[in-house]
Every structure is written in structure tokens, then in C-alpha cells.
Amino acid sequence: MSSFREIVPQLVREPKVPIELRASFEREIALSNSRRLKAVTWLLLSSLIVYLVADYFSIAKSNIPEAHSIWQGILFTRPFAMIACGLFLWQFGPLRSLDDIKAKHLWLWKWYTYFFLIYTAVIVGFMFPLKVSIAPVYIFLLGPCAFISMTSRQTLILLGIGMISIAGSLLFFVPEASQVKFHLINAMVISWVSYVVAHVTYRSSFRDFMNRQIIEKRNYQLDDARIAAEGASKAKSDFLASVSHEIRTPMNSILGMTEVALHTPLNSEQRDYIETARESALHLLDVINDILDFSRIEARKLRLLNTDFDLPAVVHSAMKTVRLQAEGKGVGLDMELMSNTPRFLKGDPGRLRQILINLLGNAITHTSEGYIRVTVGPWTPHSPDKDRPIGLLFSVKDSGAGIPADKLKCIFDAFTQVDGTASRTYGGSGLGLAICRNIVSLMGGEISADSVEGKGSEFLFTVRFAEGDPKRATESDLVEASWNTHLPIAPSRVLLVDDNPLNVKVQKLHLDRMGMDTVVAESGAEALLLLSEQDFDLVLMDLEMPGMDGHETVRRIREGQPGGGPVVRQPSVPVLAVTAHALADVRERCEQGGMNGFVTKPVAFGDLGSAMRQILGGDWRDASGTSKPQKEGAVVLDLVHASTLLGVSQAEIRHLLPNALEEIVVKLGIAEKGVRSDTLREVALQSHTLKSVSASIGAEATRQAALKLENAARRDDGERCRERLGVLRMEVARLVAAVSAL
């Protein structure tokens, strides 16, 4: 236990505030003390009023000889104290924060305590003959010491003023009273207690202040660390984006040209060389994709798509990707779809396919003979999810080398291989299973592994999906389309914007294979010039170009007035971004910039075709070659196309023409009134209906003019609406003339 000699110095010793914090500490003490005393002042003011009324009945109305003179003194002192309370309240002013503390507050609270202590001592001495008590002085000696924070020096000054005031007041007003000495002794004892209490209160305030300083300092450090971490994360993302772009751009040419070369006459040795080069490039691309995916996961920027898809088609697509690798090792590969497994789902088929390819690739790598089996069945989740009510259980089982029991817990960690030599023996970045685990988690499921060394492994994972729409389920085989596949895309005019000659060569080969009419622009400025002179169905826009990049070019296209240059004929022309940047931030920026799609380099034939088909349309009849090539100019009236579209005879189309033409003229009239009255919402509605009616009778020129008017109206572009209304009026007149000539 501490000795008395140790306790006393602790009670007396005052904590020292660091010099650099002294001013801040004094301001905080001034704010705290001023706030408390301001609150007490309102209580004191109300008490003075109550006491004045009470004294009137207890003193002024009493029969005591000294009552009259005492009441006269009270009538002077009580209002004087009330006025003082008002002055102090005015001087304290608003005390919302440290910003309200001024230099006067550093001394105002001290003079407040001195004044009311002296006032109380005088009143007590004056009324002592009547009350025979100095209790209010005890309150003012002990109260401030316990209620506000004061240093030892300030406390001694306050107590000294208090003792001198009460002693002087008693000796002045009642020098003959025998109880004076007794009360003064009590006041001295109270003063000592007050000093100890004040010391404890001050130390408590000091401790609270220092704790806040430590917390604030740590918060600042945490903020600095957070800002530094965010800066490092952004620098890493920028670095990965740059590396991705620099690697993917030449990779686009390597993969594209090797794909083309493999479909030219080659001898076996040449084919082997090119296939080896292509496989190496694809392996490098897989490593890049793993690193980028892992970076997205670390930054929590990996997002899932939500599209309808055909489950068996996605599983078959994943197995098709690795089938050649499995056959090359003599490993069997099969799939089993359990009963009651839903076929059409809504979710992210690309990420599901990525998980399956990763697990199948690992199984093939570690299986030299035997089998690999994929099993899919229903799974009942433990907790319901109204957005994703359907649960599925996937199993990928092999008869390979297996995994040691002590490695099963860590195989899903990043950069982890089964053994120290696995990276050299089998290759890979060690990120695949870590990425799978995170994707499965995003899909609302879990992944695990069960293995017996020497007998094989089984990877199980669960995922959740919503119910899909069979009519909207995407055709996954399109993504796997090869060079020999005729993709079902409507023939169109495409503007290819890219400054890299190799990229242009590869993409133009793809577009020519699809039957597109392609025009090339080597810069954003050239693209804007072409768009001001010609109409296109689609623009393939490279984002990284010297001078005016893809983002700026698209912005000017959408505005229709490219920096004061010639007016773009089709501000709403669909734009498909083609870029080597594979990060989600770039995709979001493209969407916000008004682009209609996004394709990552290296551009595979099937990926490009799938993205273009979503924009340009087309059905599977196009692949048979039965689709009619697009004509150079829009047709005024095509009865053959209309009869084919509606499935009726041309005679029936002729019978429908008068009613259709009448509706077109009526809608045109309403649209004209809307343009004149600037009610562009009505213009958009009428032109939309006019567009549909025109399409049903094969009036393609009128349909296109109505579409352009609708787009201008939806953008609230009144000037462009008036311009395009004139074009539509002319096309309708041509249509009327064509119908009259039949």
C-alpha cells in the first residue's frame, strides 16, 4: 500500500500540460467552465427572484426590530445580483463550440466565481443577525471546486478571496457574535476539502483532455494511413490498367493473327508452331485475367451481372473449353444433370463458367488417367433469399493425385500451391481457387474440397440464382463461336476507330467475316468527320488514342456538335467500346459516357460477335445466309419485306396500306403540333408509334426518319426536332406518292 508521504504529494502535485497543447487546453477549460456557469446563472437568477419574494413575507412583514433595515439592504443587493447575472449571460454569449471562445472567456469565468463568492459573503454577513448561518458561503466555497476545473493556483485564489470575504463580512456586520469563530473554523475546513476536490476535478479534466488528444492523433494517423492506402490502391489499379493495356494490345494482334493463320493452308509442322504460340498466348492471358480479377476482389470492385441464361449450355460451354486438353491426356470428361434441376436461371453465367473452367482445368492438370465428372443438382439454402431463391450444388470430381489432408485448409488462399514444386511442375499463379472462393461467396454460396491422396479429389460449391426467362436466355454458344462460325448478326455499316494498324487489321478481318461493311478511322477527329458525312449502324471505338481519346470522341458524338466542327448526323449511333483496359472502373466510365457496350482486348471472334449482336440484332436465320444484305439507301416502300415480316401475302399488305398510311399522316400532324408547342414528350410518343407503323408496312425510310425524330425529342433537343421533322415530312410525302403509284 502507498504510504502517507506518497499520497500527499500526489494530491498536491498538479499535472503539467505540454507547452504545445497549453493554449488548446485553456480554451477547452474556458468553454467547459463557461458553459456550466452559464447554465448555473439561469438557476441563480430564478433563485434570486424566489428569495426576494420569500424575504418579503419572512422579513419585511416580520416584527423584528432590525427587519426593516435588513429588508432595505435586500432590496438593494438582490436586484444588483440579478443585473450582474444578466451582464454575465450577455458576456458569455453563445457557446456552441471552441470557435465561440474568445480571449475574454479565459478570465470571465474566474471573475464570475470571485464576484458571486464575495456577494454571497456580504449577504451572509448582512443577514447573519437574522439567519445565524453562513451555509450559502459553504456552497460557494465547495461548489465551484467540484463543478468547474481550476488549477491549484486558481483554487487557492478563490478560497483566499472567500475566506477574506466571509471573515471581513462577519467582523464588519456582527463583530460581537460569539459564533463567528466557530463558523470561520468550519469555513477553513470546507476550504481544505474544496482544494482537494478541485485538484481531483482538474486532474480528471486533464486526463479527459489528454485522452481526446491521443484519440484525435490516432484518428489523424488512421486518416493519413487510409489516404495513403487509397492512394496506393489507386496507384496499383492504375498500374494494372496500364499493364493490362500494354499487354493486351499486342496480345490482340497475336491471338487474332494466329487464329486467322490456323484457317489457312498449313503443313503439320507449321500448324504445330502456330498452335504452340497460340496456346502460350492464351496461357499468358489467363494469368493476366487472374491477376486483374484478384485485384478487383481486393478492392471489392468485382461485380456480378444479372442476365438470363441456359444452365446446361453454360456447363457444356465450360466443358467444351477444356475438352481438348482432357482428350490430349486420355482423361474422360462427362456431366450429369440431376432431376429437378432448373434449366433457365438469372445471374452471371460468365462467372459461373469461370469457376467451372478453373476447377476443371485444375482437375485435368492433376489427373493423368481416369475420369473427371461434373454433377449439377438442386440445393436448399439454409437462409432464404427473395432475390435469389434458387440454390444449386455443383460437384467437380476427378480420379487424380489427390491433395494431402494438411493442405486442404489452405488451397483456397491466394498464391498457394499444393506443394513447393507445384508452380514449376504444373504452372499457374496460385490465384485460381482464391478467385473461385470469392466469386462463389458473391453468388451467395460456399466452396469446399474433399480429397484422398492418391485416389482423387472432389470440389463442391453452392450458388444462388433467380428464376430465368427462357425467351431471354442468352445463347452461350455464340461466345464460343470460332472463325468458321457464321454469326447471326444483321449485316451493317460499321465505323472502326483505332490508331493501331495491327488492331485494325485483326478487327477488320473479324468484321469482314461477319459480312459487315467496314470503314476505318485512325483518330477521333477523323471519326467525327466521317460521322458528319455518312450514316453508320455501329461504331467500334478504341479508348486509348493520341490526341482525342475514345471518351472525348463519344462525348462529342452524343452532343452532336463536336467542338464547333461539322454536325454529327447520328448523335445516338450505337458505340461499342473496344479497349485493352479490363478493370470495372473503365467499364463504368464507358457506361456513364453513353457507350452501348464494352469488349476487352484481345478481341475474340465470338466475343465481338456476341456484343455486336446485342446491339445490331439478328436471328439464327441470318447464319444460313438467307438474310437479305442491307441496301445502300433506305427503301421508301418494300412490300416483299413487309409480307415476310408479318407472314402475310403482298395482296393483304396492299389492303392494309390505306389505313396504315392514314395513321402515319395523323401521327405526323400531332408530332408537328408538339414541335410547335415545344411539348417534346408528346413528339417522342407520336414518332415512336409512327416508327412502328412504318416498319410494319416496309416503309424503311420513314421508319428511320421517325426514329431520329424520337431520339431528338427524348434528348429535349427542340432545334434538332424541327430539323428532323422536316426530313420526316419529306419521307412521308415520298411514301404517300409511292402508295399512290401502286
DSSP string, 439-485: HHHHTT--EEEEEETTTEEEEEEEEEEEEPPTTT-B-GGGTT--TT-
pLDDT of residue 132: 72
pLDDT of residue 623: 34
Q: Is residue 338 part of a domain?
A: yes
pLDDT of residue 465: 93
Q: Are residues 316 and 462 in the same domain?
A: yes
pLDDT of residue 83: 87
Q: Is the pLDDT confidence value at 223 over 60? A: yes
Q: What percent of the chain has pLDDT over 90?
A: 6
Residue 623 vs residue 178, higher pLDDT: 178
Q: Which three cell numbers stand for residue 189?
A: 475546513
- Domain that includes residue 23, residue range: 18-219
pLDDT of residue 454: 80
Mean pLDDT calculated for residue range 484-500 = 74
Q: Are residues 519 and 560 in the same domain?
A: yes
pLDDT of residue 481: 43
pLDDT of residue 31: 87
Mean pLDDT calculated for residue range 535-556 = 86
pLDDT of residue 7: 57
Q: Is residue 90 part of a domain?
A: yes
Mean residue pLDDT across the chain? 78
Q: Is residue 161 part of a domain?
A: yes
Coil, helix or strand at residue 315 = helix
Residue 83 vs residue 405, higher pLDDT: 83
Q: Is the pLDDT confidence value at 384 over 60? A: yes
Lowest mean pLDDT among 136-150, 303-317, 426-440, 692-706: 426-440
What confidence category does residue 542 fall into, taking pLDDT thresholds of 50, 70 and 90?
confident
Q: How many CA atoms lie within 13 A of 539 on its CB side?
A: 33
Angstrom distance (rounded) from CA 194 to CA 189: 9
Q: Are residues 706 and 668 in the same domain?
A: yes
Q: Are residues 387 and 501 in the same domain?
A: no
Give me the DSSP letters along 258-274: HHHHTTS---HHHHHHH
Q: Are residues 401 and 337 in the same domain?
A: yes
pLDDT of residue 445: 92
Q: Is residue 632 part of a domain?
A: no
Q: Are residues 453 and 355 in the same domain?
A: yes
Q: Is residue 266 part of a domain?
A: no
Q: Is the pLDDT confidence value at 11 over 90? A: no
pLDDT, tens digit, 9 for 90 and up, residues 259-282: 777 767 778 788 778 877 777 777
Q: Are residues 444 and 567 in the same domain?
A: no
Q: Is the pLDDT confidence value at 545 over 70? A: yes
Look up the CATH number of the domain holding residue 657.
1.20.120
What confidence category does residue 478 fall into, taking pLDDT thresholds of 50, 70 and 90?
very low
pLDDT, tens digit, 9 for 90 and up, residues 110-135: 888 888 888 888 888 877 777 777 87
Angstrom distance (rounded) from CA 715 to CA 537: 19
pLDDT, tens digit, 9 for 90 and up, residues 289-298: 766 666 666 6
Q: Which three cell numbers stand for residue 137?
A: 458561503
Q: Which three cell numbers stand for residue 615?
A: 446491339
Q: Is the pLDDT confidence value at 631 over 60? A: no
Contact predicate 402/390, CB 8 Å = no
pLDDT of residue 720: 82
Q: Is residue 250 part of a domain?
A: no
What confidence category does residue 395 fall into, taking pLDDT thresholds of 50, 70 and 90?
very high
Q: Is residue 3 part of a domain?
A: no
Number of Cβ within 10 Å of residue 258's Cβ equals 18
For residue 298, give the nearest of 420, 446, 415, 411 by alpha carbon: 415
Residues sharing a CB contact under 8 Å with residue 42, sequence separation 6 or more, in sequence order: 89
H or E stretch covering 370 = strand 370-379
Q: Are residues 79 and 182 in the same domain?
A: yes
pLDDT of residue 539: 92
pLDDT, tens digit, 9 for 90 and up, residues 171-211: 787 777 667 777 788 888 888 888 888 878 888 888 888 88
Angstrom distance (rounded) from CA 169 to CA 152: 25
pLDDT of residue 424: 43
Q: At what angle do helices 718-740 and 700-714 cross, to 10 degrees?
A: 160
Angstrom distance (rounded) from CA 127 to CA 71: 10
- Going through 311-347 in order, the beta strands assigned E by DSSP cover 331-337, 344-347
Give me the DSSP letters along 103-142: TTHHHHHHHHHHHHHHHHHHHHHHHHHHH---HHHHHHHH
Residue by residue, what is the 3-state secondary structure of 197-259? HHHHHHHHHHHHHHHHHHHHHHHHHHHHHHHHHHHHHHHHHHHHHHHHHHHHHHHHHHHHHHH
pLDDT of residue 482: 45
Q: Is residue 549 part of a domain?
A: yes
Contact predicate 174/132, CB 8 Å = no
Q: How many CA atoms lie within 13 A of 409 on its CB side?
A: 2
Look up the CATH number of the domain holding residue 588.
3.40.50.2300
Q: Are residues 643 and 619 in the same domain?
A: no
pLDDT of residue 233: 72
Q: Is the pLDDT confidence value at 484 over 50? A: no
pLDDT, tens digit, 9 for 90 and up, residues 640-688: 666 655 545 666 667 777 877 888 888 888 888 888 888 887 887 788 7
Q: Are residues 463 and 411 in the same domain?
A: yes
Q: Are residues 414 and 329 in the same domain?
A: yes
pLDDT, tens digit, 9 for 90 and up, residues 547-588: 888 888 888 888 876 566 778 888 888 888 887 665 566 777
pLDDT of residue 414: 59
Q: Are residues 457 and 323 in the same domain?
A: yes
pLDDT, tens digit, 9 for 90 and up, residues 680-733: 878 877 887 787 678 777 788 888 888 788 777 766 778 888 888 888 988 888
Mean pLDDT calculated for residue range 373-399 = 89
What confidence category does residue 488 fall into, taking pLDDT thresholds of 50, 70 and 90?
low
Look up the CATH number of the domain holding residue 399.
3.30.565.10
Mean pLDDT calculated for residue range 8-21 = 71
Coil, helix or strand at residue 170 = helix
Q: How many domains does the chain have?
A: 4
Q: Which three cell numbers stand for residue 657?
A: 396500306
pLDDT of residue 580: 64
